[in-house]
Amino acid sequence: MTNASNAAPAAAQGGRKFGDVILDLQNISLRFGGVKALTDISFNIREHEVRAIIGPNGAGKSSMLNVINGVYHPQEGKIMFRGQERKKMEPHMAAKQGIARTFQNIALFKGMSVLDNIMTGRNLRMKCNLFQQALWIGAARNEEIAHREKVEEIVDFLEIQHIRKTAVGALPYGLQKRVDLGRALAMEPEILLLDEPMAGMNVEEKQDMCRFILDISDQFGTTIVLIEHDMGVVMDISDRVVVLDYGKKIGDGTPDEVRNNQDVINAYLGSGH
Amino acid sequence: MGFFIETMLGGLMTGMLYSLVALGFVLIFKASGVFNFAQGAMVLVAALAMARFSEWSNAALGGDSLFLANVIGIIGAGIVMFAVAWTVERFVLRKLVNQEGATLLMVTLGIAYVLEGLGQTFFGSEIYSINVGMPKDPVIMFEGLIEGGVMINKEDFIAALLAAVLVGGLTVFFQKTSVGRALRAVADDHQAAQSVGIPLNKTWVIVWCVAGLVALVAGIIWGSKMGVQFSLVTVALRALPVVILGGLTSVPGAIVGGLIIGVGEKLSEVYLGPYVGGGIEIWFAYVMALIVLLFRPQGLFGEKIINRV
């Protein structure tokens, strides 16, 4: 481990400013029975940065994401969210705290239209109670319209206007990935977790996705945590990178630092490089 | 002509009542992906609770106010249905997150037996009556239009109207509100629903409550028509072909399916019955459902099954 985990970020790499540490993971260990998925991992995430978690298959990247999202509860270690220790919680509680995510194997509501899918992301922000909604009276209706406008903005942002009313199950893979991102964005999250957003995409789709990720970071200032094993993509768009291998952290720092880290080169790129 | 219309109207109104029960199936399926075999038992329990609570409160009130007794009966039955919904979520569904549809189906079979048993233990197993002041006498309508007019059963008419209002309301609720959307989201993908902050537990309680409410309305209407007794459970069986015909995932499908089967049953009985020795009404619905399945496996209005390979 050559780079300190708290290495000061290459400040304002793309003109962006990083804020304080928003999420601090301290000595996280996660086991499934006898299998060690994560061993003593510590790193932090600063506001407004694009933070990548990379590593070969089976390195524990998705487990790490699921820990942040509240799906898995680590046996050891602490998670500090905005300086306070986070208690054991359910995934929907993470959503309430402003943590949104996308899925590696797209998990959209297949029978529903693109608009309805993205609207589900607004659910937490809707305040009308069940009875108002059941009666479909003024307040509930106005609220629905207001949120619908926000959703249209996201649809424009992601350039998916032409498929707004299409059932998601009928869309090609690349567009489904975009809808998945749209649903997470609709939550206006503070932290956006992207689980292999580029997996299975062709070059053109990958470029589009990179552009969206950078635009989200620039325009909304959302903190983005990104899992990817496409090394090239990650180096281009992230501010800081954590490298995992066999559930252990082997590198942490700016893309350049990580690229030149011998452990990373050996473990991730293979000793031949 | 008058007779034909009379038969058809009769069919439409019976159909509406089938729709009401079918709606219970569709609601739970849409919102949790579970085919709820316990719907019939829920109708029975709701009707039993309603009948007994109003009977007891009527006795307590000294038989003065039937209206008040009925209101107490309905509130009591509503509380019972809420308790059922909460219990089912707490002790059954919560343990079964992310399980196969078949597992959940078998569980509802179990729930059906438990409900039938408990319902009769608590409320008794005799035949009870529900009297919510439904008019029993038939009226003659459209005398000016058709010679001799058309005889309509007032009770059926009011029941059909009630069912129509309920169905309309629920359709809007499911399609237009955020809670409705959350329910559909949970049905589609548990994990994704949680990731956008939809709590599964609360959602399931809401779904089963709504299904309980529908069961209560169906229970009151059917109960006041044919008395509250164990055979109410079989009403659910008659709603099965309606659900298959209309599509498991479609609220409008449940209504149209109910109407088609109601009318089909009555017309076939009257016009085809004499040639084959009658008794068509009993099996006609199932045959219709089978034919629809041959051509449209998802039912008339069901969501098209999309499989990308």
B254: which 2 tokens? 């449940």
Q: Which residues pair with A242 in a beta bridge?
A: A53, A252
B103: which 2 tokens? 């597992």
Q: CA of B255: how far to CAs of A23, B11, B42, B252, in Å?
A: 51, 13, 20, 5
What CA–CA distance (Å, rounded) separates A144 from B301? 26
Whole-number pLDDT of residue A42: 92
The residue type at A61: K
Q: Touching check for B143 and chain A: CB below 8 Å?
A: no
> A162 to chain B, minimum CA–CA distance in Å?
20
pLDDT band of B302, cuts 50, 70, 90: confident
Residue pair A153/B188 in contact (Cβ under 8 Å)? The answer is no
Whole-number pLDDT of residue A130: 62
> A240 to chain B, minimum CA–CA distance in Å?
25
Question: Which residues of chain A have a CB within 8 Å of the CB of B304?
Answer: 167
Q: CA of A199: how far to CAs of A106, A140, A173, B272, B307, in Å?
A: 10, 39, 10, 61, 21
Instruction: Write the residue in A110, A133, A183 that is nearest to B179 by C-beta.
Output: A133
Q: Which residue of chain B has the CA closest to A116?
A: B181
pLDDT tens-digit series, residues B242-257: 888 888 877 778 888 8
pLDDT tens-digit series, residues B2-52: 788 888 888 888 888 888 888 888 888 877 778 888 888 999 999 999 988
Q: Touching check for B249 and chain A: CB below 8 Å?
A: yes
For B214, residues 6+ apart whose C-beta sits below 8 A from its C-beta are: B20, B23, B24, B27, B166, B170
Q: Of residues B173 and B220, which shows the higher confidence score?
A: B220
Q: Of residues A162 and B282, which shows the higher confidence score?
A: A162
Query: Domain A1-98+189-273: which CATH class?
Result: alpha beta
Whole-number pLDDT of residue B277: 76
**Residue B150 pLDDT more than 50?**
yes
> A273 to chain B, minimum CA–CA distance in Å?
38
Stretch A64-84: mean pLDDT, rounded?
89
Q: Touching check for B202 and chain A: CB below 8 Å?
A: no
Instruction: Write the residue in B176, B181, B191 that is nearest to A120 by C-beta.
Output: B181
Whole-number pLDDT of residue B113: 92
- Kind and range of the H or E element at A151? helix A138-157
Residue contact A111–B184, C-beta within 8 A: yes
| Every domain of chain A and the residues it spans | 1-98+189-273, 107-188
**Residue A9 pLDDT more than 60?**
no
Whole-number pLDDT of residue B297: 81
Least confident of A101-110, A237-246, B108-117, B170-179: B170-179
Instruction: Write the residue in A92, A100, A144 that is nearest to B178 by C-beta.
Output: A144
pLDDT mean across residues, chain B: 83
Beta strand spans in B124-171 (E): 138-141, 150-153
Stretch A104-132: mean pLDDT, rounded?
80
**Residue A7 pLDDT more than 70?**
no
**Residue B278 pLDDT more than 80?**
no
Question: Which residues of chain A have a CB within 8 Å of the CB of B176?
Answer: 136, 144
Whole-number pLDDT of residue A90: 81
pLDDT tens-digit series, residues A252-263: 988 888 888 888
> B192 to chain A, minimum CA–CA distance in Å?
6
pLDDT mean across residues, chain A: 83
> A177 to chain B, minimum CA–CA distance in Å?
13
What CA–CA distance (Å, rounded) separates B274 from A217? 75
Written as one string, the DSSP assignment of A207-238 is HHHHHHHHHHHHHH--EEEEEES-HHHHHHH-
Question: Which residues of chain A have a CB within 8 Å of the CB of B201?
Answer: none
Residue pair A20/A44 in contact (Cβ under 8 Å)? The answer is no
Whole-number pLDDT of residue B146: 67
Q: Touching check for B169 and chain A: CB below 8 Å?
A: yes
Q: Touching check for B109 and chain A: CB below 8 Å?
A: no
Whole-number pLDDT of residue A216: 92
User: What residues of chain B, 2 to 41, have a C-beta less than 8 Å from chain A?
Assistant: none
Whole-number pLDDT of residue B46: 92
pLDDT tens-digit series, residues B51-97: 888 888 888 887 777 788 888 889 999 999 999 999 988 888 888 87
> B211 to chain A, minimum CA–CA distance in Å?
14
Residue contact A92–B198, C-beta within 8 A: yes
pLDDT band of A118, cuts 50, 70, 90: very high
Whole-number pLDDT of residue A270: 64
